[in-house]
Amino acid sequence: MHQFPDAKAVVRALSPDEPVILTRPHAAARAARFFVDKFPGKAMYAVKANPSPQLVQILWDNGVTHYDVASIGEVRMVRGQLHGATLCFMHPVKTPRAIREAYFDHGVKTYSLDTIEELAKIVEATTDEAGNAATDLSLLVRLRVSSEHSELSLASKFGVDLTEAAPLLQATRQHCDALGICFHVGSQAMTPFAYAQALERVRAAIAEAAVTVDIIDVGGGFPSVYPGLEPPALEDYFALIHRHFESLPISYSAELWAEPGRALCAEYSSIVVRVEKRRDNELYINDGAYGALFDAAHVAWRFPVVALEDDLIKPQAEFAFYGPTCDDADYMKGPFMLPEDIQAGDYIEIGMLGAYGAAMKTDFNGFGATVSAVVTDEPMASLYRGDRVDPRESDNVVSLR
């Protein structure tokens, strides 16, 4: 893959007609090392946030040994690439065939569940042809917790209610080597308190069920930095999680796990787009809702933007974007701050698209083609900048280059 110093160099060299995905391997490596060094437990990467093989390799090379996979496709992909990785199948609804292949062909021993039916399915699918049940399973019961502190809810779809957790924990205990409890506070959790609250619910579940718990998995939700979404330092999340974990009534050797997706990969990618048409303060660009800007369209996420032309001199103004497809829903309201004199033919870099951005691109309407390039400059914002003086202060800064 071509390497360039930054987005402007990419535009100068290629004058691209298609969107260009820029990747920053150094930023993903830095995020991986941060979690490996500082999270007070095991951090596994939630592959769905960005399944790029290059990214997965960078995370592995920088110490991430565990991967949260949610489909047999993700199991095969990660296993095919990383023979030594530990895979954890953390989707609470799986097919029997997927479980069987994961267990017998790919060595996956860890599964999550939120119903008694799923427990029976896992037990059945991991029993061998001679009728011997598996004795090496780690089973994690997913507890429903509140998403009130997060930008994207994951509260309504999965997770057993606290009131029904005790019998499920007791039944699961009968079929596993290690019993865990997991949850997901929702994506982009804006305060560490979200985890403290969820861990209090875990405490209540353990007390009610009176079972020995070996694993506490606090899930994903660790934030990145976006305009208007500037979270506290990740160290604060880790410290509060650790404190609550330590006070739980669990076995002395219990393990603490997390499943960061967004936080490990948001800084990895940005995208270069071109303005094809301007109508007042609406810019028609060549990527959109069916491309890397899914969240910008569907949940009005504001990604940082910067104009890549040197001859734009007017002050910043608010813009909305239209994507390239013929669908009215291909609209990103922003507001995105760009120079007032931006016009058709100008290029824009849209930052912080490594998580749920580059991974979401489709070919709808024939607009899926994308070029990629590696760049060596810094992402538009970072939670991990090595040069910061006081991490607690500079963590919150969105740099505007």
Ligand X SMILES: *Cc1c(COP(=O)(O)O)cnc(C)c1O
Structural tokens at position 363: 């070919």
**Minimal distance, residue 265 CB to ligand X, in Å:** 8
Residues 49 to 108: which contact ligand X by CB under 6 A?
A: 49, 68, 90
**Minimal distance, residue 384 CB to ligand X, in Å:** 15
Residues 27 to 46: which contact ligand X by CB under 6 A?
A: 46
Question: Strand, coil or helix: what is 284?
Answer: strand
- Catalytic residue annotation: 326
- Candidates 62, 110, 60, 68; CA nearest to 84 is 60
184 binds ligand X (CB under 6 A): yes
- Report the alpha-carbon angle 92-85-218, nearest 5: 45
**Pairing relation of β-strands 215-217 and 178-182?**
parallel
Residue 88 bridge partners (DSSP): 68, 110
Q: Closer to ligand X at the Cβ: 24 or 48?
A: 48
Q: Closer to ligand X at the Cβ: 66 or 100?
A: 66
- For residues 246 to 285, the per-residue mask of contacts with ligand X, x marking binding by CB under 6 A and - elsewhere, is -------------xxxxx----------------------
Question: What is the C-alpha separation between 189 and 48, in angstroms, rounded?
Answer: 17
- For residues 188 to 227, the per-residue mask of contacts with ligand X, x marking binding by CB under 6 A and - elsewhere, is -------------------------------xxxx-----
Residues 6 to 25: which contact ligand X by CB under 6 A?
A: none
**Minimal distance, residue 9 CB to ligand X, in Å:** 30
Q: Closer to ligand X at the Cβ: 94 or 262?
A: 262
CB 363, CB 18: distance < 8 Å: no
State the residue number with the nearest CB to ligand X.
220
* C-alpha to C-alpha distances, 201 to 73, 262, 311, nearest whole angstrom: 32, 24, 56
Q: Closer to ligand X at the Cβ: 222 or 367?
A: 222
State in Å, rounded, how far the first CA of the chain is from the last one.
25
**Minimal distance, residue 199 CB to ligand X, in Å:** 16
Residues 331 to 360: which contact ligand X by CB under 6 A?
A: 355
**Minimal distance, residue 45 CB to ligand X, in Å:** 9
**Minimal distance, residue 259 CB to ligand X, in Å:** 4
Question: Which helix (H) or strand (E) element contains residue 380?
Answer: none
CB 115, CB 141: distance < 8 Å: no
Annotate 20-62 with DSSP letters as a single string: EEEE-HHHHHHHHHHHHHHSSSEEEEEGGG---HHHHHHHHHT
**Minimal distance, residue 110 CB to ligand X, in Å:** 12
Q: Closer to ligand X at the Cβ: 46 or 123?
A: 46
Amino acid at 157: K
CB 242, CB 284: distance < 8 Å: no
Q: Closer to ligand X at the Cβ: 70 or 297?
A: 70
Q: Closer to ligand X at the Cβ: 220 or 351?
A: 220
CB 295, CB 332: distance < 8 Å: no
- Candidates 359, 365, 354, 400; CA nearest to 380 is 400
- For residues 363 to 392, the per-residue mask of contacts with ligand X, x marking binding by CB under 6 A and - elsewhere, is ------------------------------
What is the binding site for ligand X (CB under 6 A)? Answer: 46, 48-49, 68, 90, 184, 187, 219-222, 259-263, 355
